[in-house]
Amino acid sequence: ALAWARASAKCLNFNSMLILLPVCRNLLSFLRGTCSCCRRTLRKQLDHNLTFHKLVAYTLALLTAVHTIAHLFNLERYNQSQQATDSSLPAVLSKMHLQGSNKWLNPIHSSKTTVEYVAFTTIPGLTGVIITLALILMVTSSTEFIRRNYFEVFWYTHHLFIIYFAGLVIHGIAGLVRGQTEPSMAEVHPHHCAKYLTQRDQNCTHECCKDPEFGGIPAESWKWVLAPIILYVFERILRVWRAQQRVVVNKVVMHPARVLELQMQKKGFHMEVGQYIFVNCPAISRLEWHPFTLTSAPEEDFFSIHVRMAGDWTERLINTFQLETPRIEVDGPFGTASEDVFQYEVAMLVGAGIGVTPFASILKSIWYKFQQSDQTLKTKKIYFYWLCRDTGAFAWFNDLLASLEQKMAESGKADFLTYRLFLTGWDTSIANNVAFHFDTATDTVTGLRQKTIFGRPMWNMEFAAVAAAHPRSVVGVFLCGPGALAKSLQKSCHQHSSLDPRKVKFYFNKENF
């Protein structure tokens, strides 16, 4: 089982080197900027950073199980060899410690030593137990249910990665697994001399009669993880430094459906459309940082976020701002897939509930571009879909859509934006009211010219219509919403993309935090 233990250890080192890289957000933002001229498919790989992080984590869990089970078999064989009284090679090698301090191979030197004793008293055994427990806690607390409902549990247990890496570096220092030294291998090679070790007599003069010498295998884990750890430390230092910079909250707006809008300013803050920031409120918790998409446009002299009550932290934040204006710390901004929206001729923006926030930034930026008569805008058409469960969720976004409608009509580009609002939850009173005012110029739910649609979108019909209207265009599909909707949209992208490179092609992009 030694080969299984050693092979899994090598793979563990390699994956431990990779695990931190996808969460170095400043590194990813830098790469996204430097890859702006790269192929679209290459740039899109950066959007899968969290998926890659999870894949590496699950691989670590599997390899840890293989490594642990293999070493349990190894220790059991060590124990059996130490207790053996015959002249077999394992038994003879297990008694080598009696001949000198550098000659032992079997770490169990007494027949009374148990496997449990080695596991909990030696450095490799104890560190192995600690890092395995840390890994189990991190993996189990990272499930979707825990992250959505008990984010604090996920946040705090994930910082056990410090213990994991410390234990990993120390794990191999003691040299519990040993091998024959190179000088001894040259003199007493096991292929030729093993039989002399078990059958020799005291008067043996053959060159193989010399006792072999063994040494600990040097620890290698630190070589693999040193560079990623240094990179991550610099990442954290940069984030701490940026978080300490003063943030001024200019305006606080409480929208319907318990949505809080914060408009802020910070010296040296520069953003792009669709980016997000991490927000900390020391009055609630000094350690918790939560991601929020920026809803302001780069052209504005402030940056804003919209916070929906979705857990203990957000509830306490909203309640605190209703009483006072606490100190806020901000880290970011960081890049997302939505940054590439203006790289496409045609864009389909799909938001579910509060998932509309990155598209608020995009639509605001378009409004400013129209005001400034920006001729560099590559995008010729935008389709916007917003799915909401209740009518109150539409309220805070209505003013922006109404302004866009008016500005595009004045600019002679009324066809630039096509938007559809879908109400997925309603009662009979709403339906009766809509039916009664069906012939009015504006929608009774939102007050906009575009009528609200009751139910969910028929995505095959929507994609077919876009493909027919733009038969030779590259269409970017952007989603900020749940995973089930992502699967549906991704499937539609594949179904409606033409194999002919000269015809319509849909590229799917999803927000990941």
pLDDT digits over 287-309, tens only?
788 888 888 888 888 899 888 87
Which is nearest to 125 in space by CA: 110, 109, 108? 108
Residue type, 345: E
Taking residues 325-341, what's their average pLDDT? 84
Domain boundary pick from 334, 365, 382: 334
User: Is position 213 within any domain?
Assistant: yes
Q: Is the distance from CB of 96 to CB of 214 less than 8 angstroms?
A: yes
User: Is position 243 within any domain?
Assistant: no
Q: What is the DSSP string of 72-111?
A: HHHHHHHHHHHH--S--HHHHHHTGGGG-TT----S--ST
Structural domain that includes position 145: 1-237
State the Cα angle at 437 between 432 and 438, rounded to 5°: 95
Residue 167, classed as helix, strand or coil, is helix
User: Do 380 and 363 sit in the same domain of this protein?
Assistant: yes
pLDDT at 163: 94
Domain boundary pick from 334, 349, 379: 334
User: Do 189 and 269 sit in the same domain of this protein?
Assistant: no
- Is the CA virtual torsion 64, 70, 76, 77 positive or negative? negative
User: Is position 364 within any domain?
Assistant: yes
Residue 161: pLDDT over 90: yes
Taking residues 375-388, what's their average pLDDT? 82
User: Do 202 and 122 sit in the same domain of this protein?
Assistant: yes
pLDDT at 65: 94
User: Do 98 and 210 sit in the same domain of this protein?
Assistant: yes
pLDDT at 41: 65
Which is nearest to 357 in space by CA: 405, 402, 300, 400? 400
pLDDT band at 130 (very low <50, low <70, confident <90, very high): very high
Locate tokens 């606080």: which residue? 252
User: Do 217 and 272 sit in the same domain of this protein?
Assistant: no
User: Is position 23 within any domain?
Assistant: yes
**Residue 513 CA to chain centroid, in angstroms?**
7
What predicted TM-score, i.e. pTM, was given to this entire model? 0.76
User: Is position 316 within any domain?
Assistant: yes
Q: Which are the contacts of 146, defined by CB distance < 8 A and separation ≥ 6?
A: 140, 153, 154
Over pLDDT 70: what percentage of the chain? 86
User: Do 69 and 47 sit in the same domain of this protein?
Assistant: yes
CATH label of the domain that carries residue 300: 2.40.30.10
**Whole-number mean pLDDT of the chain?**
82
Helix ranges (DSSP H) in 296-388: 312-323, 357-371
CA 496 to CA 285: how far, in whole Å?
Answer: 47
Domain boundary pick from 237, 270, 285: 237
User: Is position 18 within any domain?
Assistant: yes
User: Do 28 and 117 sit in the same domain of this protein?
Assistant: yes
Residue 438: pLDDT over 70: no
User: Is position 299 within any domain?
Assistant: yes
Report residue 373 as tokens.
Answer: 């008569």
Give the chain's domain count: 3
User: Is position 242 within any domain?
Assistant: no
Cβ atoms < 10 Å from Cβ of 3:
8
Residue 227, classed as helix, strand or coil, is helix
User: Do 210 and 316 sit in the same domain of this protein?
Assistant: no
User: Do 217 and 322 sit in the same domain of this protein?
Assistant: no
CATH label of the domain that carries residue 506: 3.40.50.80
User: Do 254 and 190 sit in the same domain of this protein?
Assistant: no
User: Do 253 and 394 sit in the same domain of this protein?
Assistant: no
Residue 399: pLDDT over 70: no
Taking residues 452-458, what's their average pLDDT? 80
User: Do 206 and 97 sit in the same domain of this protein?
Assistant: yes
State the Cα angle at 383 between 379 and 385, rounded to 5°: 145
